[in-house]
Structure 1
């Protein structure tokens, strides 16, 4: 008796109060909508609507039918979820943990390459900074290291060095540093800073070590967990901040990234691959693509 598509169309008509509006929302013609609701009315054997001028007036029964049928569609949605969950049991899944700038700048190119050869692969992407706990269930972890602290080796994972990411000072385009090719780190001593890493992870530790090497402690004007809020303060010429180059590739208008010298802070970007899954084709493809995308990034960076 019940045609779910006609019932769905009827719910759209009741929700909008108009055949024309429902037709527009569902990408049907008004004539098609009218035909479906006329057929539905005949099948239930009770009036769902009455003609009223150039439109329709929905009956109380028609309203009740639309309202109560919501439970039907909720049940159908649950069945769809069940089928999807069953179908994804055998579907390979690539669980990746990475820090934000890598996920935004380099990860899309890696995934594009992998997905081309593995179209059925599902990608689950998580942030591992500023989270304090390790994402132990991931096949791939992209992490920052502090070179002065030595290499970090995660249990049951193989470490692959990707590249060294040097830091830049980010300032307003009105700032005195904006027109320079480079700035000695010592010149940052008297500047107000925005601290964007409240949990003092490896990215921030590199900056702290550079400050110590230059003989000063940074003077924080503000601190923010949100990069956009921190950069807004910099854009207003209220403060400066120091970011890895990867984080400065797409700065908002009004901001300039300038190289640093004496010292030149650097973080190391590494990839950890879960050893027991390293032989899987999609994992090997990811590792290969990561090295290729990084090589292309470094070549383009060197040309700038």
Structure 2
């Protein structure tokens, strides 16, 4: 393996044109410079300089190594700058992973404000992978008591998101203000999360506590499709309130569920080493502000989705 320090010496000799000039520039004696060059020639088994009159001239191999030495020094300088920025809490990239609802509701209202504050930071938004061996700077996700957050990560609670029963508009219970979950036991159901997820398991657990297992007759893979099926009268479903803020619901009835209620808990999972860095702190603050606005609106569902959405956007300005 080539010695990086000797490559730096080689570059200096090539670019200054003499051992004496390189020695003066690097603060070495000419003898020390000559020793480094001789050692590098032994390492490479190549002649790096040849005599030219009373001086020396780099060979093709010497010029080639000097070019690579320049690239190596540039990369090292870049690494040192990036490390210095990281220690000072300056990050040039922020990778945020999210699940579908968070991507549609929680993140958009804060991106413009964050980019305005940190125009030099590149925000990478990617669909979540869960707590894998490839952690992002932040992962917005649904957690339950059965999920263990790995060491080095910190789970920060954002909000509890209640599920609402979604019924066809002409359903006998559509005019109710709330609905006891057990009253939906005999209904046909539309499955909205397949394969199974924490959210689906939350619904199944609540239905089990109410004394029944849902009779799924339609399989959908997302909330919007499930709501569209409900609108046609194919069955009923349950959808988190946060998701319903971005799904057309004029053709269905959405009712809070009681006895029991069903709720999913949304968290931001961040690296402990970067949690207090300025960029992360600001992003997390904006995210918690939007989440708190939606959480405070959970008891105001009947006042309309528009008021909740408007309040969320204004809260980060």
How far apart are the structure 2 equivalents of 1:265 and 1:300? 17
After superposition, the Cα gap between the structure-2 partners of 1:138 and 1:198, relative to the gap in structure 1 and judged at 3 Å, is same
In the alignment, is the contact (CA less than 8 A) between 2:131 and 2:149 conserved in 1? Answer: no
**Equivalent position of 1:145 in the other structure:** 143
The structure 1 residue matched to 2:201, chosen from 205, 214, 223, is 205
Any idea what the Cα deviations from partners look like across 1:181-236, whole Å, max 9, x if unmatched?
01100011111111111121111111011011011111001112243332221110
How far apart are the structure 2 equivalents of 1:250 and 1:302? 18
For 1:175-194, list aligned pairs within 5 A.
Answer: 175-194=171-190
SS state at 1:284 partner: helix
In the alignment, is the contact (CA less than 8 A) between 1:95 and 1:137 conserved in 2? Answer: no
Any idea what the Cα deviations from partners look like across 1:64-85, whole Å, max 9, x if unmatched?
xxxxxxxxxxxxxxxxxxxxxx
After superposition, the Cα gap between the structure-2 partners of 1:301 and 1:193, relative to the gap in structure 1 and judged at 3 Å, is same
Q: Which blocks of at least 5 consecutive residues in structure 1 are unaligned?
A: 1-85
For 1:73-112, list aligned pairs within 5 A.
Answer: 92-112=92-112
Any idea what the Cα deviations from partners look like across 1:40-88, whole Å, max 9, x if unmatched?
xxxxxxxxxxxxxxxxxxxxxxxxxxxxxxxxxxxxxxxxxxxxxx9xx
In the alignment, is the contact (CA less than 8 A) between 1:154 and 1:272 conserved in 2? Answer: no
SS state at 1:181 partner: coil
**Equivalent position of 1:270 in the other structure:** 267
How far apart are the structure 2 equivalents of 1:104 and 1:240? 23
Normalising by structure 2, we get a TM-score of: 0.62
After superposition, the Cα gap between the structure-2 partners of 1:102 and 1:177, relative to the gap in structure 1 and judged at 3 Å, is farther
After superposition, the Cα gap between the structure-2 partners of 1:210 and 1:301, relative to the gap in structure 1 and judged at 3 Å, is closer
**Between 245-254 and 205-214, the greater mean CA deviation after superposition:** 245-254
**Equivalent position of 2:252 in the other structure:** 255
How far apart are the structure 1 equivalents of 2:179 and 2:298? 19
How far apart are the structure 1 equivalents of 2:216 and 2:204? 12
Residue 280 (structure 1) aligned with residue 258 (structure 2): no
**Equivalent position of 2:297 in the other structure:** 300
After superposition, the Cα gap between the structure-2 partners of 1:178 and 1:135, relative to the gap in structure 1 and judged at 3 Å, is farther
Q: Which blocks of at least 5 consecutive residues in structure 2 are unaligned?
A: 1-77, 83-90, 304-317
**Equivalent position of 1:237 in the other structure:** 233
Larger Rg belongs to: 2
After superposition, the Cα gap between the structure-2 partners of 1:164 and 1:227, relative to the gap in structure 1 and judged at 3 Å, is closer
**Equivalent position of 1:119 in the other structure:** 119
Any idea what the Cα deviations from partners look like across 1:123-146, whole Å, max 9, x if unmatched?
221222xx5673733100111123
Deviation at 1:283, TM superposition (A): 0.8
Normalising by structure 1, we get a TM-score of: 0.65
How far apart are the structure 2 equivalents of 1:261 and 1:180? 12
